[in-house]
Structure 1
Amino acid sequence: MYGLGLDQLSLNLNNFNEKNTTLLDNKDITASNYIDEVSESKLHNAAVSISISTHNIQNYLNVKSAEFSKGNTNAQQVLSNLEVGKVDYVNFFEGRKFEKTLTLEEMGYTGKPISQLSKEEAKELLSNEGFFGSEETSKRLVKFVEDLTGNEPQALKESRQGIEDGFFEAQKLFQQELPNVSKETESKTLDIIDKKIQEMLKTDFQKELESKHLEN
């Protein structure tokens, strides 16, 4: 649902920031590249416009990532409570007791409604192979930010912050410590994203050195 975000906005943050720097730091070249003549006021207006657009995109990435992270974590919390017999939480996704969140379908879940699950079924969903277990949920979160950002480092950083914010917001919503499955999911997800960012930011020289080291 949200994976088309950057395509719809036609944005590559790296290129965008490079153009922003050129526009501000090299006015003569920028003027020849973009328009024949540009006044200082127009240049200023263009820079302001770019700044606002960049902020909007960063906010979009953060909000969508946080929303997806929070929705999955909310589901884990409901299931964790259901698993130990706290049935008061089963109405969560029907909006009777808590604020609006993503629907289960928007998270990709198409199984039995949570309100109809038994303790055993809730436990199964939270298992290693279960849809809301730490392994499958972390994969789902990583895939979400990959689709959202196009694996662009700067965009990934913003989405990473959104993922982290989502876990925090989910904890505040229930006013209790996150269950172990959510803590494990957060750790796995952020670790994978951090490694992706680190790999992308390596210089060609560093990559060449590592390649030669592996060959030897």
Structure 2
Amino acid sequence: MEAVDLNMQKLENYVDNISNKKQTVKGAEESSNTNMEQKNSSIHNSAVNVSISMESMKVFLNIKSVELSQANTNAQNSLMNIINNTEIYDFLSGKEIDGGFSLASIGYEGKPITELSPDEAKELVSDEGFFGVSKTSERVSSFVVNLAGDDVEALKEARKGIVQGFEEAEKMWGGELPEISYETQEKTLDIIDKKIEELLKTDAQKELEEGNTSKEED
């Protein structure tokens, strides 16, 4: 009888251990999921802020690149809205805003955007300018790709943030942004989409593409 009781006790202990391990694993999984959600949320918010800041800059540069007349009421209003938005104006002035984002952090080393002449502003948004379509789309897409790494879900979340920030910028600045903003947004999303597509490819697909490339070279 004692042997049976002893074996039953061992069995109960074994079951308890298994149960405790399951609870530990479950807790670890829940913690991991929470951390992942927090990470993706942070990435999303960073992408939103970057998008709003960059589009606000485009609006400001677009206005600064032409001599304003009193008759140009919409441009005057947009300019005043930017000046009255402390965080945006601080960013354009070269100061660091929330998240450590600044003109310097994106590699810009020129004079503050708020101090540019019309000709200087026009040069910055030209085809080869620092804030032209090509260089800006590469810069913004590189920012979100580096932020998300090779995590597809994080990258998708960053893409959502870029889109949300763009839409919020549209609302902030009168419902319509400069044409250069739409061109830049299209190219930025295209780069991000291609990165996501590349990450989703299976090893077999990659090997097939590499094989086709080798045959073409031969």
| TM value normalised by structure 1 | 0.73
Name the counterpart of 2:33: 51
Q: What percentage of residue pairs aligned between the two structures are identical?
A: 39
Matched with 2:61 is 79
Q: CA deviation at 1:169?
A: 1.6
The yes-or-no answer on 1:100 pairing with 2:82 is no
Which residue of structure 2 lines up, in the alignment, with residue 206 of structure 1?
205
User: Gaps spanning 5+ residues in structure 1: where?
Assistant: 1-34
- Can you give the 5+ residue segments of structure 2 that lack an aligned partner in the other structure? 1-16, 69-74, 92-101
Instruction: Answer whether contact 1:90 1:115 (CA < 8 A) is retained.
Output: no
Alignment-mate amino acid for residue 119 of structure 1: P
| Rounded Cα–Cα distance in structure 1 between residues aligned with 2:123 and 2:196 | 33
Match of 2:165 in 1: 166
For 2:199 and 2:111, locate their aligned partners in 1 and report how far apart those are by CA, in whole Å: 40
TM value normalised by structure 2: 0.72
Determine the C-alpha separation between the residues in 2 that align with 1:59 and 1:47. Answer: 18
- Cα contact 2:61–2:122 (8 A) shared by 1: yes
1:31-67 per-position Cα deviation (integer Å, ceiling 9, x unaligned): xxxx976266555544433332221111011011121
Q: 2:51 aligns with which of 66, 69, 73?
A: 69
Larger Rg: 2
**In the comparison of the two structures, how many residue pairs are matched?**
180
TM-fit CA distance, 1:182 = 0.8
**Offset at 1:151?**
3.1
In the TM superposition, what are the counterparts of 1:1-216 in structure 2 within 5 Å? 38=20, 44-86=26-68, 88=76, 96-101=83-88, 102=91, 103-216=102-215
Question: RMSD value over aligned CA atoms?
Answer: 2.5
